[in-house]
Amino acid sequence: MAGLLFGTGGVPHSSETRTTIDGIKRIAELGLGCMELEFVRGVRMGEAGARLVADTAARELVKLSAHAPYFINFNAHESEKIRASQGRLLQTARVASLCGAESVVFHAAFYLGDPPDKAYDTVKNYLGEVLDRLKKENNQVWIRPELMGKPSQFGTLEEILDLCTELEGVAPCIDFAHYHARTGELNSYREFAFVLSRIEKRLGRAALDNMHIHASGIAYGKKGEQKHLDLEESDFQYVEFIKALRDYDVKGLLICESPSLEGDALLLQTTYNSLLNRGNAG
Ligand SMILES: [Zn+2]
């Protein structure tokens, strides 16, 4: 099987219907390898539905991941919001596991004016409680805090990597578009390679063999991310990006979140394969 699989964040536009089942079938028809289940507005899938999703994905050889609801803030200042955030992440992880998904991605927190160090400790503490619970349930899903695109959001590269080193069962979701939007930087081969080498240095080679990546074009300003764009409409240097992924032999899932979804997922996959072939020929 290919080392790096390409797919879409949610059901492809060209799917026959908007159901997850048809989405998985369409991913296979398109020759893509993975799909992220978007539970971003809530987890509305029961056990029977999840088992059907798992069967379909196994049959179609499509790998799945899941995105938890947006309404999560592990640095909320009210305890009921913390409990609700923990509940949403737990629920996503349980359904994801039934679906056969190996990873759950989530947006960890907002700083809400707190110093980053303080927010970090709070997030780590409450996330740790969720991980303890999942361990007791023997849930093996990787919990992946996402690198975020706005300076008001918790989730710099180092914060994400710190959580991964300190908490068992946590791995990164590196959103390269977010990183680019957050800093205005990270848009060259050298910078992409820096991020990958940083991950390897802090988490070991195993992390590059089990990566979860989000990519898309992006519009951004002083406050970071504004909206996602198709790659060709954005300034994102995706060929350089793909070159770096290939040179570091990154394995795992690459989820495309451009408005065109499968359009850009196929563009990235084609770019990746053409570099591979060229590399083999040379
Ligand atoms: Zn996300």
Q: What is the mean pLDDT of residues 50-57?
A: 98
User: Residue 278: pLDDT above 90?
Assistant: no
Task: State in Å: Cα 143 to ligand 1 middle.
Answer: 13
pLDDT at 85: 98
Q: pLDDT value at position 217? A: 87
Task: Provide the pLDDT confidence category of residue 282 given band limits of 50, 70 and 90.
Answer: very low
Supply the mean pLDDT for the chain: 94
- Asked if the model's pLDDT at residue 276 lies above 90, the reply is no
**Centre of ligand 1 from the C-alpha of residue 282, in Å:** 38
Lowest-confidence segment of 41-45, 158-162, 278-282 by average pLDDT: 278-282
- Residue in the block written with tokens 């060229």: 278
Q: Check residues 165 and 218 and name the one with the higher pLDDT.
A: 165
Interval between CA 145 and ligand 1 midpoint (Å): 9
The dihedrals phi and psi of 18, each to the nearest 5 degrees, come to: -90, 5
Q: What pLDDT score does 118 carry?
A: 98
181 vs 243, higher pLDDT = 243
Cβ neighbors of 210 (< 8 A, separation 6 or more) are 142, 171, 251, 252
Q: What does the pLDDT read at residue 182?
A: 83
The pLDDT value given to residue 1 = 44
Q: What is the CA(52)–ligand 1 centre distance, in A? A: 25
pLDDT at 2 over 90: no
Rounded average pLDDT over 117-136: 98
**From the CA of 68, how far away is ligand 1's center (Å)?**
8
**Whole-number Å distance between alpha carbons of 216 and 236:** 8
> Over 70: is that where the pLDDT of 281 sits?
no
In this prediction, residue 184 carries a pLDDT of 80
pLDDT tens per residue, range 221-260:
888 888 899 999 999 999 999 999 999 999 999 999 999 9
**257 alpha carbon – ligand 1 mean position (Å):** 9
HSE toward the beta carbon, residue 267, CA cutoff 13 A: 18
pLDDT score for 214: 95
- Distance between Cα 92 and ligand 1 center (Å): 14
233's CB contacts (< 8 A; 6+ apart) are 217
| Rounded average pLDDT over 22-39 | 98
Distance 281 CA to ligand 1 centre (A): 37
| Distance from residue 40's CA to the centre of ligand 1 (Å) | 8
The string of pLDDT tens digits covering residues 186-207 is: 889 999 999 999 999 999 999 9
Measured CA to CA, the distance from residue 145 to residue 173 in angstroms comes to 6
In the chain, where does DSSP find H-type helix? 20-30, 47-60, 79-98, 116-136, 157-166, 176-183, 189-203, 205-208, 238-247, 262-281
Q: How far is the CA of 202 from the centre of ligand 1 (A)?
A: 23
Residue 109 Cα to ligand 1 middle (Å): 12
- In degrees, rounded to 5, the angle at the alpha carbon of residue 91 between the alpha carbons of residues 89 and 95 is 120
Centroid of ligand 1 to alpha carbon of 69 (angstroms):
9
Cα-to-centroid distance, 141 and ligand 1 (Å)? 17
